Structure 1
Amino acid sequence: MHWTEMLMPVVSGFALTIMAMPIFIGYFRMKQLGQTTREDGPKWHEVKTGTPTMGGLVFLIAIVITSVWVGIWQKSLTISLGLLMFILVLYGILGFLDDFIKVFKKRNLGLTSKQKLIGQIIGGIVFFAVYRIEGLDTLLYLPFFGEVNIGWLYAVFVIVWLVGFSNAINLTDGLDGLVAGTASIAYGAYAVLAFKQGQTDILIFCLAVIGGLVGFFFFNKKPAKIFMGDVGSLALGGGLAAVSILLHQEWSLLLIGLIFVIETASVMIQVTSFKLTGKRVFKMSPIHHHFEMSGWSEWRVVLTFWAVGLVAAALALVIIL
């Protein structure tokens, strides 16, 4: 795939998102529908109450449309590309239902954690089943051991990976532009790996995601005109994990997605510490709120996290390539 052809999915994802988003935002404002800020969140985030949400729906549609038409054009509409879109759409639907109940039904809680988890696990099972039907192997690289065929345990790994990173990006999505930037960097790193492996189908998907996210960022940068909502964050996390699996670079996601790992770890540490000792390790979790409460501006936190994500992704590429 020539570099000029690689521009097509980026431009398509960007153009579709940036054209449709103003209409979407306008509809939410007209209906006076918006995000309700968490009561236990930072007090200075209260000004964001009422901001339109569910913007992820727009870039998800842009990504799917782009992946299909570029996939057909490049003769790369494969099962792997279908699997990526399946996870993106399914996890997006789970997030959409969660957002829809909160926003349109005016209920503070959307889907229960159990309902979302069941949906995510079903997605993981279907993903693995199709993966095996296609004859893809169950080899997993283990440090110090090399590649090991773990058989059916690979199905467990796939489910944990998809669910874990789907929720990790969901936790990270708490500041204007934070996930738009960090996810673009992560998908960019996998685009490089897909290109090096000659997997055009996965490359198209990653580039379409980047285009959609860059288009979304224009409306999500501080002060955000719209948030992506769970419909965007759950889908992006599931898609990212699926990409790492299909490229057989699973563990690389711990480094390429370092920010998402840190954000999730901060919540786990905070909850565990409070339950065991009654004390909090961070001023607030996820950790981006800790830095805000330490006096950092929102932009400073976002730019610092982008920088860390970029360095980690570059390091991962150097190690792998």
Structure 2
Amino acid sequence: MVITKGVTALLVSFFVALGGGRVLIPWLLKLKIGQTVRTEGPKRHLKKSGTPTMGGIIFLLSLVVTVVVFQAFDAKTLLLLITTLLFGLLGFLDDYLKVVLRRPLGLRAREKLLGQVIFSLVLTFGAVAFLGRGTDWYIPFSRLLLGEPRYLELGNVFFFAATIFIMVGFANAVNLTDGVDGLCSSVTLIVMSFFAMTSLALKEKGLFIFALALMGGLVGFLVYNRHPAKVFMGDTGSLALGAAVAGFAVLTQTELFLLLVGLIYVVETLSVIIQVIVYQLTGKRVFKMSPLHHHFELSGWSENKIVLVFSLVTLIMVLISGYGL
């Protein structure tokens, strides 16, 4: 019954996103809300200049509609939905400043960081104070290897600090991954399948509906976002997806699994950090360009090949992680 309801939620969300895209994309084109492409990036990206952005609205709308239709109003689901939308709103403001008001850098870094920290604190405090979430992390594979689940107790201060770091870190890591047509949406679609599986195992019906609804919305969005993309998700979508991924981990005590299922996000972020540090120390670059997907682009990989390989890596990590629950 729960699985049937979840699949139905996925289908509803898919069709809402499909219809939403048909309405929103022409409207964005009419308003000339288009992406500005960096001239220092891969040259073949220059032809993407003017492609509508803020497309994250498509799958966020389908998510909200589906959650309401299926009345997934339990406290955990609502807290996750609110946090996801708050991050999406922050991304929307950033996109609006960049593409509508023509302020190239959008929100200032400190403004964006402050918002992310505050919104992360909302989820963390809500989970601990009102939902009975402990201050420990489930240790992956402990049930499989030791016969019983084991947890790593962090204590209040470290738990709050670590959780906020994870929320902010993954929001920005997902944002970095959004640089190739269909990449971020494809990888996150597969990551969400892990959290759907986790929610089902924990009998969290509301979170299960949320995961399937977001998956359906992403499939619908991919119809327009696959190469060659007719729309980009913008920070509106990528920050929201990052918050959803990290928020799911916090609410299901699976934070450590993010290193596995979110491997692509982690590697993309590390490639940027390594590139900057090595260049500052030696004046040389480790990668042709960072994040890593641009390195592969400049090495001759097509966008579709990058999406396929990164998605397969994510799928493998999700399957491995499933045994660790």
The two structures have a TM-score, normalised by structure 2, of 0.94
Aligned to 1:185: 190
Match for residue 105 of structure 2 among 97, 106, 109: 109
Count of aligned pairs between the two proteins: 316
Deviation at 1:213, TM superposition (A): 0.2
Aligned to 1:232: 237
Q: Is the 8 A contact 2:54 2:95 kept in 1?
A: yes
Query: For the residues of structure 1 that align with 2:60 and 2:2, how far apart are their CA atoms?
Result: 25
Deviation at 1:31, TM superposition (A): 2.3
Q: Is the 8 A contact 1:51 1:225 kept in 2?
A: yes
Match for residue 75 of structure 2 among 75, 79, 82: 79
Query: For the residues of structure 2 that align with 1:25 and 1:146, how far apart are their CA atoms?
Result: 46
List per-residue Cα deviations over 1:105-138 (Å, max 9, x = no partner). Answer: 1221100111110000001111122112222211
Query: For the residues of structure 2 that align with 1:68 and 1:154, how far apart are their CA atoms?
Result: 32
List runs of 5+ in structure 1 lacking aligned partners.
Answer: none
Q: Is 2:307 the partner of 1:302?
A: yes
Matched letter for residue 125 of structure 1 = L
Q: Is the 8 A contact 2:35 2:49 kept in 1?
A: yes
Q: Is the 8 A contact 1:88 1:236 kept in 2?
A: yes
Distance 1:40 1:311, change over 3 A: same
Aligned to 1:29: 29
Deviation at 1:142, TM superposition (A): 5.8
List per-residue Cα deviations over 1:264-296 (Å, max 9, x = no partner). Answer: 110011011111111110000000000011111
Query: For the residues of structure 1 that align with 2:222 and 2:311, how far apart are their CA atoms?
Result: 13
Deviation at 1:199, TM superposition (A): 0.8
Q: Is the 8 A contact 1:140 1:150 kept in 2?
A: no
Q: Is 2:136 the partner of 1:139?
A: yes
Report the secondary structure of 2:301's partner residue.
coil
Q: Is 2:222 the partner of 1:217?
A: yes
Task: Give the fraction of aligned pairs with identical amino acids, expressed as a percent.
Answer: 42
Query: For the residues of structure 1 that align with 2:154 and 2:263, how far apart are their CA atoms?
Result: 26
Aligned to 1:42: 42
List per-residue Cα deviations over 1:16-41 (Å, max 9, x = no partner). Answer: 11101111111122223310001221
Segments ≥4 residues shifted beyond 3 Å: 141-146
Query: For the residues of structure 1 that align with 2:303 and 2:231, how far apart are their CA atoms?
Result: 16
Deviation at 1:149, TM superposition (A): 4.3
List runs of 5+ in structure 2 lacking aligned partners.
Answer: 143-149
Query: For the residues of structure 2 that align with 1:86 and 1:203, how far apart are their CA atoms?
Result: 16
List per-residue Cα deviations over 1:236-278 (Å, max 9, x = no partner). Answer: 0011000011111110011011111110110011011111111
Q: Is 2:213 the partner of 1:204?
A: no
Match for residue 285 of structure 1 among 282, 290, 302: 290
Cα RMSD of the aligned pairs, angstroms, is 1.4
Deviation at 1:88, TM superposition (A): 0.7
Matched letter for residue 123 of structure 1 = F
Q: Is the 8 A contact 1:142 1:148 kept in 2?
A: no
